[in-house]
Amino acid sequence: MRVHRWRAGVVALAVSASAAAAPTSPFQPMFDQARQHYALPGLAMAVVEDGQVVYQYTAGERRAGTGEAIDENTLFKIASNSKAMTAALLARLVDRGALRWDDPVIRYLPQFRMHDAWVTGHMQVRDLLIHNSGLGLGAGDLMLWPEPNAFTRQDILAGLAHLKPVTSFRSGYDYDNLMYVVAGEVAARAGG
C-alpha cells in the first residue's frame, strides 16, 4: 500500500509540474507553432501594457546548435523592421505633442549637419522617414555594416556632413538607412 501512495504522489507532482509549465497566455501555443512551422532556432515575445511587461515568453536558442538560450535580454537583428517601429514611436510623440512632423531636425539635434547647409536647416522630422534627403541608395551604409564595427550613432551623425547628395533635397527617392538612425536620435531627444 505504501508503494501505491508513493506512485500517486509522483503522478500528482508530475501533473502539477505540467500544469505549472502550461502556457499562461494564449500567445504561447501560437508562437510555439510558428517556431516549429518556420524551423526557427528560437524566439521571444512580450506583452506590454501601460509601459509594463505583463507577459513574456522565450524559447529556443540564439543560434541553432549553440545551446545558448534566448532570454529577456537577447538582442535580435531585426534590420529594417526597426524603421516601422521608429516611425510609430515618432507618431506617438507627435500625438503627445512632444514634437511635430514639420519641426526642423536641428531643434532636437543641434549637431546635425548635412553636406549642404540649407538642407541642414530645412530637414524636417518627416523628411527623415521618407527617403528624400538627396543621399544616394545605401549612402553611408558602411558605417552600419559589416558588423561588428566601431561606429557609434554620434559617428554616424557626424559623418552625414561628408556624404554628398546625388539628387536635390526632396526631389527623388533613394532608400536610406542613416536617416532612420537620425530619426531614432530625434525620438530619444524628444522623450521617446
| Catalytic residue ranges | 80
Residue 95 main-chain phi, psi, to 5 deg: -60, -35
Find, among 31, 85, 35, the residue nearest to 56 by Cα: 31
**What span, in angstroms and rounded, lies between the C-alpha atoms of 79 and 85?**
11
**What span, in angstroms and rounded, lies between the C-alpha atoms of 74 and 126?**
31
Neighbours of 88 (CB within 10 A): 11
**What span, in angstroms and rounded, lies between the C-alpha atoms of 12 and 1?**
17
**What span, in angstroms and rounded, lies between the C-alpha atoms of 99 and 114?**
21
The residues near 190 (Cβ < 8 Å, ≥ 6 apart) are: 93, 98, 99, 108
User: Which SS3 state, helix, strand or coil, does residue 110 take?
Assistant: coil
Cβ(71)–Cβ(60) below 8 Å: no
